[in-house]
A and B are shown apart, each in its own frame.
Chain A
Amino acid sequence: MRRALSRLLPYVRESRRAFIIGVGCIFVASVMQLASPWVLKYAIDGLISGASRGCLAGYALAMLGLAVVDGGFRYLMRKHLIGASRTIEYALRNDYFAHLQRLPLGYFQSTRTGDLMSRATNDLSAVRMMIGPAVMYFASTALGFVIALAVMFSIDARLAWIALLPMPIVSVATRYFGKAIHDRFERIQAQLADMSAVVQESLSGVRVVRAYRQEDTEIARFRRSNDEYVARNRGLIRLQAAFYPSLTFCFGVSSLIVLWMGGRDVMAGTMTLGSFVAFLRYLVMLSWPMIAFGWVINIAQRGLASWGRMIEILDTAPAIDDRDARPDALADGVKGDVEFRQLSFRYPPRAGEGADDAAPMLADISCTIAAGQTVAIIGPTGSGKSTLVQLLPRLHDPAPGTLFVDGIDVREIPLARLRGAIGVVPQEPFLFSDSLAGNILFGFDPVRDRARVDAAAHAAGLDADLSSFPDGYQTVVGERGITLSGGQKQRTAIARAVAADPRILILDDALSAVDTQTEETILRRLREVRRGRTCLIVAHRISTVRDADMILVLDSGRVVERGTHDELVRRAGLYARMDQQQRLEDELAAS
């Protein structure tokens, strides 16, 4: 816990001025607030002894003045302390995102996005509650508590002791109820998740439900979950219903003690009526700190737990970085030679799996590609084609000494330089909710460069669809803009890679969603782009790879055949069979 808190310290230090001012304001405000009943005491005693109107007006003005000064300082307190917590929240969220940006692809494949998001929102919000409101309420209640206590004891120590008897119960009760309420709330949330799962399961399996006439069974199942949800809620209701009235009851008992014992003191003349009224007022003021203490502890606990969850992510070391890089490697630019040297690769085992459980994705791959060559990689689903090309820009890390660009191990090339030389069109193209032009120029120049967009879009065959975009290339993609077809997305991603003007172009099954005719157009236009660039094409279709300089046929992570299209067809192996299948499919589609 201390370690966790010390991680938070630098952020707090940044805002220490605000914290100091804020706590200072609390001090002044608390003194003002607690002086007010004191004035009341003199006013009432003055009334009894028949003070003048002018004197009463003085008291009244003093009370008003105290409230105004108190309010002013509370205003400043909130501004500084809550403001600081917002500033820290902002810094933490930025740091969190910046850290995520350094984590490799494998991390995002093994972690749920929803989980990462909830830490940036829910958990962060709990952390902020801990450093903002919790600190503020703690400081203000602690100060208020101490001062009120001191004043009450100075008025009548004996009465103070007795009147305060029920008070610790309040703090303990807040703490106990707070925890119990929290636990029951968690149980309700769990049941809500269960109920959602029932709905999700039944609605997504709607065909089976209908076909097997399970509607009534499903309704009964839902009814059970629904009933349990309501039952758990009612458990919480009873707890909450008892909680607040029991606090009121405790304060009431304290007031009752003062009324009874203080009243007798007033009768006996050992206490003035003013002191008596002021004493009652102080008691009311004490009730809030008593509730707040239990509350602050709960917030702090939740905040700490959340902060622990965030640290978990912040402490994940980036698996792929520049630790082996030589700053001067390929400093004069990249030519585009690529070499795989007896490369084997397996994904890191997931939690719960042994190291040997996962079969190697790639085994003993060797291949030399000269700058400017086009190499195609083809093979059945799951044969490791995508993994192979993902290693080149180090989306996954290859073993040292197995993958080289211009004769230098990719691990020794600074990551930015390596990736800067490579343009990738991924299997599932990812577009951001930005304009088409913004998505295409994404990897290049933030200044909109029309000619470059046009050229890249032309090469990718996207220009054919230009008329269907209401604002041309300025049309915004996604949610509030237009929804692109799979083929349009792929072509946009191709345009993006082309616009980046890379030395090495990787098309990872990038033409799977376009029809054969469009594919032909794109391939023809890309021929121009490919000139002078190294190009790796992963494909399912023979038509995509036909005119590559070399074709690698991958099966179960191994290169089983290699050569040009004509050579491979003659060999009558796997490639030839795939070729035959393709022709049959084409015939069938045409008939």
Chain B
Amino acid sequence: MSGPQDDVIGKAYDARLMRRLLVYLRPHLPAVAVAFVVIVAGALVELAQPWLTQRAIDTYIAQKDVDGLRWIATVFFGLLVANFVFEYVQTVVMQTIGQKIMRAIRLEVYGHLQKLDLAFYDRNPVGRMMTRVTTDVDALNDLFASGVVTVFGDVLALVGIITAMLWMNWRLALVAFVVLPGILAATQWFRTNVRESYRQVRGLVAKINAFLQEHLTGMSTVQLFRQESNAFERFDRINRDHRDANIASIFYYALFYPIIETMAALSAALIIWIGGGWAGDGVVSIGVLVAFLQYARRFFQPISDLSEKFNILQAAMAASERIFTVLDTPVAITNPTNPPHPNPTRPVIEFDHVWFSYVDADGEPQWVLKDVSFVVQPGQRIGIVGATGSGKTTILSLLMRFYDVQRGRILVDGVDIREMDLAMLRGTFGLVLQDVHLFAGSVASNIRLGRDDIADEAVAAAARAVHADAFIGRLSQGYATEVAERGATLSVGQKQLLSFARALAFEPRVLVLDEATSSVDTATEALIEDALKVMMQHRTVVAIAHRLSTIQDMDRILVLHKGELRESGTHQELLALRGLYFRLYELSRVRENIGS
């Protein structure tokens, strides 16, 4: 699913990455400003409550002023409502910013993935790219939604509490602050240890998963060799380690919360003892004592929140590093700026001494195609035959410019395809692949794909031409029937017919076909064969052919062998040669014999 580099936990702050990330915040600056204001206001409201209690006790209750108390109660209620509103607005604004930024980043990554060439996908498994678009982007959410801006909120709350206490009574405040270093130290100790033990536990969970994955997949091997108890012992060891690591981590939680509670109690005890003494001397009022008792309990939250930001930052840095790596992958196959005009007098396709290798590694390249040259005139039907691994499919991939050739060149309408507009080049061809790829959506949308200008009638006509209309008509909702995930409800043959219809509906000038070898039932086989004939009528065709019937009618057949173009000619000419083609032909006859 994901490469080993996914596990690496990097540093918590990287200025280069951070600057690049903050760019995404720029379009939301007004919203950020709103959030900032609300956070400040919210922090002030939070601060006001203990102070109100102090006023109520010292000024109004002590002086038996019922109206004053009513006034305090009204203000108190107003603050409650304000607090509700501020907190609500803050959450909605910040989280929405986070979501919008993630939406933008996802779209950017995905848009870039749509531009990258096939070689990129050969190197990078689809699963890994999915992680980039989903999980990695999500890791950035915390950074924007609860990281950057709320840090100010936490700092503000802490500073606010300290200031309010100092302002009410600086001497008593200093007494209460005695516990602050303790709280800081305990929090730091806790975070460090929990992070470490969490890392251990996560490693063990990964081990459990890997073990299960491996042993569930290979269960029959375990059973055949009666290794159940052996495997169980190994599982038990990992499982035990996991349990022990978890039990060890309980220690930190079990100790941390009581420590914080004890700190709070210590602070309260000091306020009662020392402050109480001063109250007897008239230095502090009872109300201030009560307010202090309330403030002292509020130290902890902002400190804890701040220390958590460290983890958020670390995760975001690691994720953004991976995302930017994808975004920074250069697009290898690009559109030329000034594409020359096609020359209608030239052949449709020319392969001019083409050499190609998939691996662009150092040393001697592994040539898949060696010095291949051929020409396709308008209206010609060309068949390509050859054993597995002879390079047939590569010819099609190069023609579509999925890859660029290393030596030689490919011309379409007299223009080097590397100088041609990509959309124009690919629009020339209708490609049918061996493995049919269907998309989630209706049957009709799988035929017309994104081309809404292809009318329903055209879709139906294409389907009719390739005999797909019969089975589509039997589907519950005809053309509107939803295709299940990857076409699971359709047979292999039906999927092929659909892909034929798709190619026809696009009305390409050149049909490019990689005939499927997979076996289908005889009735469908007959349909497919006939559909192939229909498609090839009055059209330029380049087809990798497996069926005898398809091969024989071709205007010319190219025989590829180990990357070289070895023979070329009509069916009869090639048979007369008694060379490679002759043997391939024999072989396919024997194969069909076994199949029937």
Judge whether B535 is part of the interface by a CB distance below 8 angstroms. Answer: no
Q: B107 contacts which chain A residues (CB < 8 A)? A: 219, 222-223, 226
Judge whether A67 is part of the interface by a CB distance below 8 angstroms. Answer: yes
The 8 A CB mask of B58-102 against A (1 = contact, 0 = none) is 001100101001101100110111011001111110011001101
What distance in Å separates the Cβ of A478 from its nearest Cβ neighbour in chain B?
8
Q: A259 contacts which chain B residues (CB < 8 A)? A: 53, 56, 69, 72-73, 76
What distance in Å separates the Cβ of A117 from its nearest Cβ neighbour in chain B?
5
Are A82 and B402 neighbours in the complex by a CB distance under 8 Å? no
Judge whether B289 is part of the interface by a CB distance below 8 angstroms. Answer: yes
CA distance A87 to B437 in the complex (A): 48
Are B103 and A48 neighbours in the complex by a CB distance under 8 Å? no
A212 in contact with B431 given A61-B269, A205-B439, A237-B95 (CB within 8 Å): yes
Are B257 and A74 neighbours in the complex by a CB distance under 8 Å? yes
Judge whether A270 is part of the interface by a CB distance below 8 angstroms. Answer: no
Are B213 and A117 neighbours in the complex by a CB distance under 8 Å? yes
Are B230 and A264 neighbours in the complex by a CB distance under 8 Å? no
Judge whether B121 is part of the interface by a CB distance below 8 angstroms. Answer: yes
The 8 A CB mask of B220-242 against A (1 = contact, 0 = none) is 11111111101110011001101
Judge whether B22 is part of the interface by a CB distance below 8 angstroms. Answer: no
| Number of residues of chain A lying within 8 A (CB) of chain B | 136
Question: Which residues of B, 277-330, contact A by the 8 Å Cβ criterion?
Answer: 277, 279-280, 286, 289-290, 293
Are A230 and B226 neighbours in the complex by a CB distance under 8 Å? no
Q: B227 contacts which chain A residues (CB < 8 A)? A: 442-443
Q: A205 contacts which chain B residues (CB < 8 A)? A: 437, 439
CA distance A245 to B92 in the complex (A): 12
CA distance A215 to B117 in the complex (A): 12
Q: B247 contacts which chain A residues (CB < 8 A)? A: 82-83, 86-87
Are B439 and A430 neighbours in the complex by a CB distance under 8 Å? no
Task: Identify A263's interface contact among B56, B215, B258, CB under 8 A.
Answer: B56
Judge whether A585 is part of the interface by a CB distance below 8 angstroms. Answer: yes
Are B73 and A233 neighbours in the complex by a CB distance under 8 Å? no
A443 in contact with B226 given A101-B219, A260-B70, A588-B580 (CB within 8 Å): yes
Are A90 and B243 neighbours in the complex by a CB distance under 8 Å? yes
CA distance A429 to B279 in the complex (A): 83
Are B239 and A44 neighbours in the complex by a CB distance under 8 Å? no
What distance in Å separates the Cβ of B288 from its nearest Cβ neighbour in chain A?
12
Judge whether B338 is part of the interface by a CB distance below 8 angstroms. Answer: no
A443 in contact with B84 given A121-B208, A207-B431 (CB within 8 Å): no
Judge whether B458 is part of the interface by a CB distance below 8 angstroms. Answer: no
Are A196 and B280 neighbours in the complex by a CB distance under 8 Å? no
Judge whether B427 is part of the interface by a CB distance below 8 angstroms. Answer: yes
Q: Which of A211, A234, A246, A587 counts the most B-chain CB atoms under 10 A from its CB?
A: A211
Are B258 and A74 neighbours in the complex by a CB distance under 8 Å? yes
* Closest residue on chain B to residue A113 by CB atoms: B216
* Closest residue on chain A to residue B218 by CB atoms: A430
Query: Which of A290-298, A405-413, A575-583 faces chain B?
Result: A575-583
What distance in Å separates the Cβ of B286 from its nearest Cβ neighbour in chain A?
6
Q: A89 contacts which chain B residues (CB < 8 A)? A: 243
Judge whether B9 is part of the interface by a CB distance below 8 angstroms. Answer: no
* Closest residue on chain A to residue B424 by CB atoms: A213
CA distance A522 to B259 in the complex (A): 69
Judge whether B39 is part of the interface by a CB distance below 8 angstroms. Answer: no
Task: Identify A117's interface contact among B89, B212, B242, B264, CB under 8 A.
Answer: B212
Q: A588 contacts which chain B residues (CB < 8 A)? A: 387, 580, 583-584, 587
Query: Which of B128-136, B352-360, B541-549, B568-576 faces chain A?
Result: B128-136
Judge whether B453 is part of the interface by a CB distance below 8 angstroms. Answer: no
A201 in contact with B439 given A63-B269, A210-B118, A577-B593 (CB within 8 Å): yes
Judge whether A155 is part of the interface by a CB distance below 8 angstroms. Answer: no
Are A249 and B219 neighbours in the complex by a CB distance under 8 Å? no
Judge whether B250 is part of the interface by a CB distance below 8 angstroms. Answer: yes
A203 in contact with B121 given A213-B426, A277-B290 (CB within 8 Å): yes
> Chain B binding site: helix, strand, loop or mixed by DSSP?
helix
Q: B84 contacts which chain A residues (CB < 8 A)? A: 245-246, 248-249
CA distance A246 to B268 in the complex (A): 29
* Closest residue on chain A to residue B259 by CB atoms: A71
Judge whether B450 is part of the interface by a CB distance below 8 angstroms. Answer: yes
Are B239 and A241 neighbours in the complex by a CB distance under 8 Å? no
* Closest residue on chain A to residue B245 by CB atoms: A86
* Closest residue on chain B to residue A192 by CB atoms: B134
Interface residues on B, range: 35 or more
The 8 A CB mask of A98-133 against B (1 = contact, 0 = none) is 101111010010000100110011000000000000
The 8 A CB mask of B573-596 against A (1 = contact, 0 = none) is 000000010011011001101110
Judge whether A141 is part of the interface by a CB distance below 8 angstroms. Answer: no
Judge whether B266 is part of the interface by a CB distance below 8 angstroms. Answer: yes
Are B280 and A226 neighbours in the complex by a CB distance under 8 Å? no
Task: Identify B289's interface contact among A47, A61, A195, CB under 8 A.
Answer: A47
CA distance A199 to B92 in the complex (A): 28
Judge whether A468 is part of the interface by a CB distance below 8 angstroms. Answer: no
The 8 A CB mask of A553-589 against B (1 = contact, 0 = none) is 0000000000000000000001001101100110111
Are B88 and A196 neighbours in the complex by a CB distance under 8 Å? no
* Closest residue on chain B to residue A55 by CB atoms: B276
Are A113 and B213 neighbours in the complex by a CB distance under 8 Å? yes
* Closest residue on chain B to residue A227 by CB atoms: B103
Judge whether B461 is part of the interface by a CB distance below 8 angstroms. Answer: no
The 8 A CB mask of A159-195 against B (1 = contact, 0 = none) is 0000000000000000000000000000000001001
Q: B270 contacts which chain A residues (CB < 8 A)? A: 60
A75 in contact with B134 given A121-B205, A201-B486 (CB within 8 Å): no
Are A241 and B88 neighbours in the complex by a CB distance under 8 Å? yes
* Closest residue on chain A to residue B228 by CB atoms: A101
Judge whether A416 is part of the interface by a CB distance below 8 angstroms. Answer: yes
A206 in contact with B224 given A74-B257, A83-B247 (CB within 8 Å): no
CA distance A2 to B246 in the complex (A): 29
Are B61 and A241 neighbours in the complex by a CB distance under 8 Å? no
Judge whether A240 is part of the interface by a CB distance below 8 angstroms. Answer: yes
Q: List residues of chain B with CB under 8 Å of any chain A CB.
A: 53, 56-57, 60-61, 64, 66, 69-70, 72-73, 76-77, 79-81, 83-84, 87-92, 95-96, 99-100, 102-103, 106-107, 110-111, 113-115, 118, 121, 126, 129-130, 133-134, 205, 208-210, 212-228, 230-232, 235-236, 239-240, 242-243, 246-247, 250-251, 253-255, 257-259, 261-262, 264-266, 268-270, 272-273, 276-277, 279-280, 286, 289-290, 293, 387, 397, 400, 402, 423, 426-427, 429, 431, 433, 437, 439-440, 449-450, 485-486, 502, 506, 561, 580, 583-584, 586-587, 590-591, 593-595
Add 8 more A-B contacts to A219-B114, A584-B586 (CB < 8 A).
A64-B269, A102-B228, A116-B212, A234-B96, A246-B84, A273-B57, A432-B218, A577-B594
A-B contacts, 8 listed (Cβ < 8 Å): A40-B293, A60-B270, A60-B276, A64-B269, A86-B246, A97-B215, A108-B219, A422-B224
